[in-house]
Amino acid sequence: MLVDLHMHSTASDGVLTPAELMARAAAAGIDLLALTDHDCIDGLVEARDAAARHGMRWISGVELSAQWQGHTVHVLGYGFDMQAAGLLEALDAVRDGRWQRAEQIGDRLAAKRMPGALEGALGIQQATGSDPHSPPARPHFADWMVQAGHVRDRAEAFRKWLGAGKLGDIKQHWPTLPDAVQQLRGAGGVAVLAHPWHYGFTRARLRRLLRDFAEAGGRGIEVSNGKQAPEQVAVLAHMGTEFGFLASCGSDFHHPDAPWMALGAMTPLPATCVPLWSDARFAEGVSA
């Protein structure tokens, strides 16, 4: 059975619409999948209906950003109620925060004689087919700055204006790790720590994260993310078993031009892992 529980659509930073993504997943031979857009579940209904047409098992999904000890980590959620008020409110708050951040970047650039940045960045973002409700992010501002002739290229935009410590570097306030887990559990879902190696932590820090995640009610970890080195996957499989986590896997697909992140193409889970889809929520097949 081919399982891919991590992918993005135009509802966040992917380039395929949810329906296009599901068609591509079906062509890749995927049997069970979840769409996991960043802090957004707007693509789920379209994905669910398309997955059903293609005869694939589908479960609700999302990738939440969360704060842990001064770092941003990602928490995948599955099998939640898409109408749960608490989760919808939390997602709205994050979106409002992103809009505020985009407006602040626009104001700050205007004060530096670069007027119209927010509108310009929004135009660039919309041209990619992105959800009209989601605010532009720093790469969109960077592309607008190039287009408007303020900088030569994206790299210069980040070096001078948008990168760490520059005026466009406005911190977003994410929920804490326990709050993110609670938002998912409160909606009847299961929380899974995404790509534990991506944070650049030492093994000791990673263990502290896993311990805190387990204490917060986290149920699993993403043991295999894309075409990760088998040794890294093996270490996570081992650590996950130690903490009693279920094991998940996903491609983290964003766009078709990155063949190293193709749909359904992950390093296989070691046979010792207890797969996430042994959880009852996944047994219900196509669910809302």
Residue 60: exposure state from Cβ atoms within 10 A (0-12, 13-18, ≥19): buried
- What is the C-alpha separation between 256 and 7, in angstroms, rounded? 12
- What is the C-alpha separation between 222 and 249, in angstroms, rounded? 5
Per rule CB under 5 A, is residue 143 in the interface with Mn ion? no
Closest CB 16 distance from Mn ion, rounded Å: 13
Helices (H) then strands (E): counts for the chain: 10, 8
Tell me which residues in 221-280 interact with Mn ion (CB under 5 A).
252
Nearer to Mn ion, 79 or 196 (CB): 196
Angle, helices 138-147 vs 117-127, to 10°: value is 100
CA-based end-to-end distance of the chain: 21
Interface region with Mn ion, contact rule CB under 5 A, candidates 70-78, 182-190, 203-211, 213-221: 70-78
Closest CB 53 distance from Mn ion, rounded Å: 24
- What is the C-alpha separation between 98 and 76, in angstroms, rounded? 19
- What is the C-alpha separation between 90 and 82, in angstroms, rounded? 12
Nearer to Mn ion, 192 or 269 (CB): 192
Each residue 3-22 as x (binds Mn ion by CB under 5 A) or -, in order, gives ----------x---------
Nearer to Mn ion, 30 or 194 (CB): 194
Per rule CB under 5 A, is residue 74 in the interface with Mn ion? yes
Nearer to Mn ion, 62 or 117 (CB): 62
DSSP for residue 273:
S
Task: Please give the C-alpha separations between residue 286 and each of 32, 42, 122, 173, in angstroms, as whole numbers.
Answer: 9, 17, 35, 34
Tell me which residues in 102-131 interact with Mn ion (CB under 5 A).
none
- Token pair in block for residue 141: 């501002």
Per rule CB under 5 A, is residue 138 in the interface with Mn ion? no
Nearer to Mn ion, 35 or 117 (CB): 35
Closest CB 192 distance from Mn ion, rounded Å: 11
Tell me which residues in 161-220 interact with Mn ion (CB under 5 A).
194
Nearer to Mn ion, 151 or 267 (CB): 267
Nearer to Mn ion, 46 or 222 (CB): 222
Kindly report the CA angle at 38 between 181 and 156, in degrees rounded to 5?
Answer: 130
Closest CB 284 distance from Mn ion, rounded Å: 24
Region for 48 from its dihedrals, namely left if φ exceeds 0, alpha if ψ lies in -120 to 50, beta otherwise: alpha
Nearest residue relative to Mn ion (C-beta)? 74
Q: How many residues bind Mn ion (CB under 5 A)?
A: 5
Q: Which residues of the chain form contacts with Mn ion (CB under 5 A)?
A: 13, 63, 74, 194, 252
